Amino acid sequence: MVERSQKDVWRLTPWLMIALLLVNFVLMAFDAREINSGQRVVRVWTQTTTDFVQSPVTTVSSAIANYFSSISNLRSAASENDILKQRVQELEVELQQKEELAAENTRLKGFLQLKEQSKYKVLTARIIGRDPSVWFDSSIVNRGSLDGVTVNMPVVTDGGLVGRVTAVSPLTSQVDLITRDKSGLGAVIGQIGESNALGVVNGTSKKDLLEMKYVPGNIDVQAGQSVFTTGQDGIFPPGLKVGEIVSVAQGSATTPHQILIRPAARLSSMQEVGILLYEPPARTEFEQTLPNAVKKK
């Protein structure tokens, strides 16, 4: 084995550094090009490789975190017990009233012939990793192309819309959250068909806050109103709850409202999500010819 002198090492280091910088730069350029083209081959392979480490590590770390949180919960259990005993008595009274209301509700549902059914197939997925940097709002879930997940599929929780799938490997997928500033979706304030307050919801630089643009200033908009997807963006199906309006800077006849929305889904603390196996309707031939249309490979 050849022993290198300290001088040889010092002479070799700049060249090694330049080579590694070049490798990293080529990777970056390739990844940036792939983001724009929609086919992220390098990302898929690196993600697949890291998944073998990430999945078990996340499982162990969540188990440890749950164990410690259960211990801290025990400390407050005694005082909570007294409060709960009192609460049980109150609830018993409330329960009797609720039973009457439930019976009435069932009767009315039958009268209106309403059926609860989900329109899309939902694939439940567990979040196995959050973006390790502070810059990007993305998460990794434990479902991939082997489960039928494809790029651009919407991701939801029982609260509301979470984001969309941006990269898929065989076992995992990367989900970009709606709070990421590059995300955008068509939305409407109030129910579709009842309201004409249409606009575009974008992520903001602030956490847990979205911005709704292009809502005409002459439409009445109030804080507390709910915002839903319209389905016109060609990614998200219509009717998914995006969030609730928290503040409105009123516009005028010529300027749009400036609306801030709090996402309906608790994005920072979610553990499980649902991937909607939703294929958007095919675009018309005219739309395919538009210069900004995403071409299918």
122-130 and 272-276: which strand pairing?
Answer: antiparallel
Backbone torsion region of residue 146, taken as left when φ is above 0, otherwise alpha when ψ lies between -120 and 50, otherwise beta: alpha
Three-class DSSP category at 42: helix
The distance of closest approach from Cβ of residue 177 to another protein in the complex, given in angstroms and rounded to an integer, is 9
- Site residues for another protein per CB under 8 A: 9-10, 12-14, 16-17, 20-21, 23-32, 35-36, 42-43, 46-47, 49-50, 53-54, 57-58, 61-62, 65, 127, 129-138, 140, 166, 174, 176, 179-182, 203, 205-206, 268
What is the rounded end-to-end Cα distance, in angstroms, of the chain?
A: 51
> 98 vs 266, which CB is nearer to another protein?
266
CB 296 within 8 A of CB 146: no
Residue 174 backbone dihedrals phi, psi, to 5 degrees: -100, 130
Q: Which residues have a Cβ under 8 Å from the Cβ of 255 and sit 6 or more positions away?
A: 217
> 142 vs 166, which CB is nearer to another protein?
166
CB 279 within 8 A of CB 231: no
The distance of closest approach from Cβ of residue 233 to another protein in the complex, given in angstroms and rounded to an integer, is 19
> 177 vs 221, which CB is nearer to another protein?
177
> 67 vs 111, which CB is nearer to another protein?
67
The distance of closest approach from Cβ of residue 265 to another protein in the complex, given in angstroms and rounded to an integer, is 15
226-229 and 138-141: which strand pairing?
Answer: unpaired
Residue 248 backbone dihedrals phi, psi, to 5 degrees: -135, 125
How many CA atoms within 13 Å lie on the side-chain side of 19?
A: 5
The distance of closest approach from Cβ of residue 5 to another protein in the complex, given in angstroms and rounded to an integer, is 13
> 76 vs 133, which CB is nearer to another protein?
133
> 62 vs 145, which CB is nearer to another protein?
62
The distance of closest approach from Cβ of residue 148 to another protein in the complex, given in angstroms and rounded to an integer, is 23
The distance of closest approach from Cβ of residue 297 to another protein in the complex, given in angstroms and rounded to an integer, is 20
